[in-house]
Chain A
Amino acid sequence: MINDLMILIFAPLVAGILAWAFDVRGIREAIGFIGAAIPVVILAKTYQTVLSNSINYTITVGGFKLIFQLTALNWYFAAVAAIVGIAMALGMISTSRSGYEWLFALMSYTGVLGVFLSQDFIGFFLLWELMTFASFMMVLRNNRHESLKYFVLSVIGAYAMMLGIAILYAKTGALDFATIRQALYMDLSIGAISKGESALLFVLFLTAFGVKAGAFPLHVWAPGAYSEANQSYTSFFSGALSKAGVYGILLLYILMGAKLYAEFGTFHGHLTFAYVIAWIGAITVVVASFLAVLQEDIRKLFAYSSVGQVGYILLAFGVGTSLGFAGGLFHVLSHAVFKGLFWLVTAAIILQTGKTKFKDMGGLAEKMPFTFAMGLIAVLSLSGIPPMAGFASKWLIYEAAIQAHMPLVAGAIFLGSGLAFAYVVRFLYAVWFGQRPSDLDNVKEAPLPLLIGMAILAIPNILFGVAPGLVTEYINKAFGSEIVGGDYFKLVTPTGTYNALLVTIVLVLGLAIAGLVFLYGATTRKIPVTNTYQSGNPVIEDYNLSIRRNFYKPLAEALDFWLKYSWDRFYERIAGIAEDFADTLRQSFYNGNVQSYSWYLAIVLLILALWGVL
């Protein structure tokens, strides 16, 4: 039993190393796939056990006791990662051509699983760093600048966490979660950690986890990093790896919630610190969704969309009620499956066409029907259309926000949903429908492993959409209380009810009617894809809007004022200043003149002397 956890965590890593070492086509893929499949098997095996009691695994490394524990809560996270992981492996069989990618993809898989299962900060930090590093290496291969941006921000986050860990260690003398939690509880009465220190800890951890989750304003790495990695891997990167940040926020609640509440109290009836998280989430949703709408590149679009969707989860956690947590957790799952699916679809498109921009695409539905079907499921789920998983989770989050009397936040959810619809519609139309550019006439359906991978992710979208109770029931068990009522097909909250089955039946019926109408009665006309619209502008050569090109340019013009300010450029500016500062420092300190150097010695002596004399 004990070795189960070790195998669970390290099987992907070992498989990755082996795949890298035997870099032969065929063997590499087989090993990699097995490595990614093992966690699924083990998690499936332990499903029954974790609900009643936890599975532990402890190992002493370098004087640190690393504790891994599989409880109901982190089983959930690990299972989400495992589903996306195996889909990623299948996708990579089709899209990856090197042992290098297998190594780091599986290494990050290990990292993610380890982060979810760690019950002490050293193991957590170690695997966190491993995960960051591995995903960084995936990006580095394709783009130095974006990968460095990602890594620098991640490392800043990781080091912030390190500092936080060290402070906690200094204050409590412990590194494992259980003891720290208890010590912080005790500290409520002792007060060894001052208000300022609590705030510092909160900020440090929020930075650390916020970077990974892509929370505003630390999201700037995400578009570049998501789009510059192998797309099959991005399904994992965005679907599972960003959840580590979300998990971290949850951990923050578990460990420090009481302490933070005691120090900062409430604000308009909400936990003050949670309020901050909620607003960060809300801003992330809005900003990222707006930016997603304006993108011209599929990868960028989904990257921003991913940031926005993770914002939902943060927002849900920020609500701070148990319903909020349930909604957030549900959204963790649904985001993983629909966004993973999206990226696999993107991978298929890019693999088969070699194009990434909307303007080069069109009419692919005929050529890649299965991929299109999968894409459609993902679109429906993402934009929150029942009966998909995305609707159920968003509905729960919305309910939670309303119930917690956070209308503005709820408004952000609505706005985000609308924007999400705006950008997926464009994806749907520009890529799949309309006139096909002639160079795409020879495009074929995506290879089989990739299709299987998509199917694996598509099934939960529908399954948990039709039967959301499966998830909420598990969440109820994990929290040990009845948060969301209802049965498999029905969700009941204090303020509302959502009957997925009913909706499904109605929807199917509606579709059937619409189909009949379409088949027998409707008159349709074909619109050439070159149709443009000007949104009131005079017709000129370079202001030429179509669904494939600059579709939302009027919106961009409307937002002109806000787009002038970019956190990305701001960070670049800071980095530039730091580099220039480094140059100045180096040139003026190490100026090559030994006499200056002697002066440094004399000055040190002088300081010593003054310190001695005074």
Chain B
Amino acid sequence: MIHISVYYFGAISLILIGLYAVLVKKNLLKMLIGLSIMETGVNLLLISVGYISGRSAPILSEGVGPNQAVDPIPQALVLTAIVIGVATTAMALSVAIILYEKYGTLNVEEIRRLRG
């Protein structure tokens, strides 16, 4: 067995749960919830990668020196990723709204006019 930190574990679990929703749930909104959870998981993963035990937040005021702060880069990345995530979610939800107007359902098995 491999030993990983609880944060990694939590993050990977979120990713898997999200993917599970996409793979199993037939309701489109449920799938989108899954994607959203997946994104949260990925963000948590990124932040955990940047964490250094025993150091404080990378705000260099009041006696926090350059060698006492955690890695700022993943945090910057995650800021970006969160915003991108919410943007995707908003887009996806408007598409879902149109789909509901046109098909009268959100079941992805019935939204299958394009195929073959």
Contact = CB atoms under 8 A, between A and B. Distances in A.
B11 to A, nearest CB: 16
A587 interface: yes
B108 interface: yes
B115 A587 contact: yes
Contact of B112 (A586, A591, A598, A599): A591
B114 interface: yes
Interface in B84-116: 108-109, 111-116
Contacts of A599: 23
Given A587-B115, A590-B115, A590-B116, A595 B19 contact: no
A593 B23 contact: no
A612 to B, nearest CB: 13
B112 to A, nearest CB: 3
A602 B18 CA distance: 12
Contacts of B116: 586-587, 590-592
A232 B69 CA distance: 87
A160 B80 CA distance: 52
B32 to A, nearest CB: 11
A594 B31 CA distance: 10
B115 A595 contact: no
Q: B interface, how many residues as a size bin?
A: 10 to 19
Contacts of B111: 594
Contacts of B23: 595, 598-599, 602
Contacts of A595: 22-23, 26, 31, 108-109
Contact of A602 (B19, B31, B113, B115): B19
Q: Sort chain A's interface into a size bin.
A: 10 to 19
A592 B26 contact: no
Nearest to B24: A595
B81 to A, nearest CB: 20
A598 B113 CA distance: 17
Contacts of A592: 112-116
A598 B23 CA distance: 6
A270 B11 CA distance: 74
Nearest to A598: B22
A593 B19 contact: no
Nearest to A605: B19
Contacts of B19: 602
A104 to B, nearest CB: 35
Contacts of A594: 31, 108, 111
A600 to B, nearest CB: 11
A602 B23 CA distance: 8
A593 B23 CA distance: 11
Contacts of A602: 19, 23
B106 to A, nearest CB: 12
B26 A591 contact: no
A598 B108 CA distance: 12
Contacts of A586: 116
A294 B99 CA distance: 63
Contacts of B114: 592
Contacts of B112: 591-593
A591 B23 CA distance: 15
B67 to A, nearest CB: 36
Contacts of B109: 593, 595
Contacts of A587: 115-116
Interface in A527-549: none
Interface in B20-53: 22-23, 26, 31
Interface in B55-103: none
A277 B22 CA distance: 60
A259 B22 CA distance: 59
B100 to A, nearest CB: 15
Contacts of B22: 595, 598
B24 to A, nearest CB: 8
A129 B22 CA distance: 48
Nearest to B35: A598
A602 B31 CA distance: 14
A598 B114 CA distance: 16
A586 B116 CA distance: 5
B19 to A, nearest CB: 7
A599 B22 CA distance: 9
Contacts of A598: 22-23, 31
Nearest to A594: B108
A592 B23 CA distance: 15
Interface string A365-399: 00000000000000000000000000000000000
Nearest to A586: B116
A592 B26 CA distance: 13
Interface in A579-614: 586-587, 590-595, 598-599, 602
A606 to B, nearest CB: 11
Of the candidates B26, B112, B116, the one having the most CB atoms from chain A within 10 angstroms of its own CB is B116
B21 to A, nearest CB: 10
Interface-central residue, A586, A591, A593, A602, by most chain B CB under 10 Å: A593
A129 to B, nearest CB: 32
A587 to B, nearest CB: 5
Interface of A: 586-587, 590-595, 598-599, 602
Given A592-B115, A593-B108, A595-B26, 19 more contacts: A586-B116, A587-B115, A587-B116, A590-B115, A590-B116, A591-B115, A591-B116, A592-B112, A592-B114, A592-B116, A593-B115, A594-B31, A594-B108, A594-B111, A595-B108, A595-B109, A599-B23, A602-B19, A602-B23
Closest 4 interchain pairs by CB? A592-B115, A592-B112, A598-B22, A594-B108
6 contacts: A587-B116, A595-B22, A595-B23, A595-B31, A595-B109, A599-B23
